[in-house]
Amino acid sequence: MLKQDYYNNFFEIGQQKINFSFFQLGLPDDDPVYTLKNVMEELDFSGLLACYSDKGRTGFNPIMLYAVVTYANMRGVRAVDRIVDLCQRDLAFIWLTKGQKPQRDVFYDFKGKKLTGEVLDELNYQFMRRLEKEGLISLKELYIDGTKIEANANRYTFIWRGSLNYHLAGLLDTIDALYTKYNTFLLENGYGPKYNLGNARMFVIEGMDKVRKVIEENRKRKLTKHKKISNNTIIEIDYCSPLEIRKLQKNLMQIAQGEDIGFVYGKGKHKPEIQKLYEELEECGTRLMEYKECFEIMGKGRNSYSKTDMEATFMRMKE
Residues 83 and 196 in one domain: no
Domain assignment present for residue 311? The answer is no
Domain assignment present for residue 58? The answer is yes
DSSP string of 67-115?
A: HHHHHHHHTT---HHHHHHHHHH-HHHHHHHTT----HHHHHHIIIIIS
Whether the predicted pLDDT of 99 surpasses 50: yes
Residues 182 and 114 in one domain: no
Type of residue found at 217: E
Whether the predicted pLDDT of 317 surpasses 80: no
Residues 100 and 16 in one domain: yes
Query: Is this structure's pTM higher than 0.85?
Result: no
Reference 234, options 187, 298, 146, 158; nearest CA is 298
Domain assignment present for residue 312? The answer is no
CA dist 202 to 214, 243, 247, Å?
Answer: 22, 12, 12
Residues 101 and 205 in one domain: no
- For the stretch 61-74, pLDDT in tens is 999 999 999 999 88
CA dist 64 to 60, 69, 70, 248, Å?
Answer: 8, 9, 10, 43
Domain end position, chosen among 107, 122, 150: 150
Residues 7 and 58 in one domain: yes
- What is the 3-state secondary structure of 262-279? CCCCCCCCCCCHHHHHHH
Residues 134 and 218 in one domain: no
Domain end position, chosen among 132, 150, 168: 150
Domain assignment present for residue 315? The answer is no
Residues ≥6 apart with Cβ < 8 Å to 54: 1, 2, 3
Higher per-residue pLDDT: 26 or 43: 43
Domain assignment present for residue 186? The answer is yes
Please name the helix (run of DSSP H) or strand (run of DSSP E) that holds residue 258, with its range, or none: helix 240-258
Residues 110 and 177 in one domain: no
- For the stretch 108-160, pLDDT in tens is 989 888 888 778 888 888 888 777 776 666 555 444 444 333 333 343 457 88
Residues ≥6 apart with Cβ < 8 Å to 28: 22
Domain assignment present for residue 319? The answer is no
Residues 80 and 146 in one domain: yes
Residues 84 and 174 in one domain: no
Half-sphere exposure of 221 (CA within 13 A, CB side): 15
Q: For position 12, what pLDDT does the model report?
A: 60
Residue 79, φ and ψ in degrees, nearest 5: -65, 130
Domain end position, chosen among 150, 177, 195: 150
Residues 139 and 12 in one domain: yes
Residues 198 and 135 in one domain: no
Residues ≥6 apart with Cβ < 8 Å to 41: 11
- For the stretch 170-194, pLDDT in tens is 999 999 999 999 999 999 999 999 9
Reference 257, options 191, 193, 183; nearest CA is 191
**Total domains present in the chain:** 2
Residues 114 and 191 in one domain: no
Query: What residue numbers bound the domain in which 128 lies?
Result: 3-150
